[in-house]
Amino acid sequence: MGKITGFMEFERQEEGHLEPADRVKNYKEFVLTLSDGQAKVQGARCMDCGIPFCNTGCPVNNMIPDWNDLVYHGNYRAAVENLHSTNNFPEFTGRICPAPCESACTLGINDDPVGIKSIERKISDAGWEHGWIVPEPAAIKTGKKVAVVGSGPAGLAAAQQLARAGHAVTVFEKSDRIGGLLRYGIPDFKMEKGLIDRRVEQMQAEGVIFRTGVLIGKDFPATVSNMARDTIFPEDLEKEFDAVVLAGGAEQPRDLPVPGRELKGVHFAMDFLPQQNRVNAGDKLKDQIKATGKHVVVIGGGDTGSDCVGTSNRHGAASVTQFELMPQPPELENKPLVWPYWPTRLRTSSSHEEGCERDWAVATKRLEGKGGKVERLIACRVEWKDGKMVEVANSEFELKADLVFLAMGFVSPVQNVLDAFGVQKDARGNARASTEGDKSYQTSSSKVFAAGDMRRGQSLVVWAIREGRQCARAVDEFLMGSSVLPR
């Protein structure tokens, strides 16, 4: 690779970023893309390791050593082409993917891994800057029509691949803008939404039709955001199109069944985060949930909880506390034991750095308040014995809480949608569809396919892109008998 001894000569270099005091003043991205010189040095650290485990650590199987080498030699145009051969939207993953590829890096066994994610972002940003990323419309149209339900990363990846195969693709989205959870789940300070808009423009030039504000199905639950103005019944969709791809998110949130849950000021995270994204886009909301001057408690230690922390800090919260039910993980993993797999270890996000009290092994017992509004949260310490949670005796304590955000993950896709299509479900409530064999990604209804969170449950953006691409190939084979799309 690039420089054979580079991994011995150069240290890992992180992307620069604005200081917390500056970045909490607005909702703009604050991570600084590597310079050409920094990217060259980082690419030089990629080893000639023989078996690049990073390729398989990456869900879309990016050819990481190849484009690291191209960046080292300054051949960015070839790097852009190589990266897009496996990933439709590297500017998304280069910003919000947790980078399982870096956990699988061979150099990471006894040193800091190559900064793969930062190089990916550098390549994709260079592609847009130089005008190398352009529409790729199909030369020949097949006459087949495909409906894609959901415009998150799985739906967008499937739609783009199918359009490039020559099919007429229509994407249906119940929200008022395209992007799914990319648009209304990821804060702008992690990924600005202009990145989605320019991809939508590219896909429109490739022939994809986008229809927003359209709900596919009926009897939608009140616990999930729905901006739809129109409704189309699944049976009508199946009549009009030759194939249907279900690519919605795992949007059904996990609730907290404790006394006081009904008090005002207790919200699901996805009631809170999308509102700020809409305000940033210019929408005027009458009843926006604001954390300004309030004591905020975030229940759930994952990325969604972290996003609530960052948004609350930008609102000017009086205090922010985040706690997790599970014990605090170790600061460093046992690499010989877990490499090349994704390790369980303590992760501190940029939002945590901006100000947050964190606690672990804490369970909520009840919520209390006056006049129907939450004022405090009563919690206790817990410990885990033989896989079971046990309350620690005399450990109950109280937290002041004007706002409580429930960020404990998502249990499944919206069941009403799957039921409306009549597809079989697995034990977790996801659409049942295998990824192997002649009917990969195909549900129990022959014309209906499922990909991303709708099929696998709550997961990463990069997994959604992978499944969208693979599902597109399966649909193309179903419609045409064979496919030239990559799997």
Range list of β-strands (E), 145-287: 145-149, 168-173, 209-212, 214-216, 230-232, 243-246, 252-253, 266-268
Q: What is the pLDDT of residues 292-348, one digit of tens each?
A: 999 999 999 999 999 999 999 999 999 999 999 999 999 999 988 999 999 999 999
The per-residue pLDDT for 406 is 98
Question: Which domains are assigned to the chain?
Answer: 6-130 (1.10.1060.10), 145-252+410-480 (3.50.50.60), 256-406 (3.50.50.60)
> Higher confidence at residue 53 or residue 336?
53
Q: What is the mean pLDDT of the chain?
A: 96
Burial class from Cβ neighbours inside 10 Å (0-12, 13-18, 19+) for residue 142 reads middle
**Inter-residue contact 361 to 381 (CB < 8 Å):** yes
> What confidence tens digit (pLDDT) does each residue in 293-309 have?
999 999 999 999 999 99
User: Helices (H) and strands (E) in the chain — how many of each?
Assistant: 20, 20
pLDDT attached to residue 213: 95
Average pLDDT over residues 48-69: 95
Q: What is the pLDDT of residues 399-421, one digit of tens each?
A: 999 999 999 999 999 998 999 99
Taking the C-alpha atoms of residue 157 and residue 160, their distance in angstroms, rounded to an integer, is 5
* Beta strand pairing call for 209-212 and 266-268: unpaired
Mean pLDDT on 170-185:
96
Percent of the chain clearing pLDDT 90 (strictly above): 94
Distance CA 478, CA 148 (A): 15
Name the pLDDT band for 222 (thresholds 50, 70, 90). Answer: confident
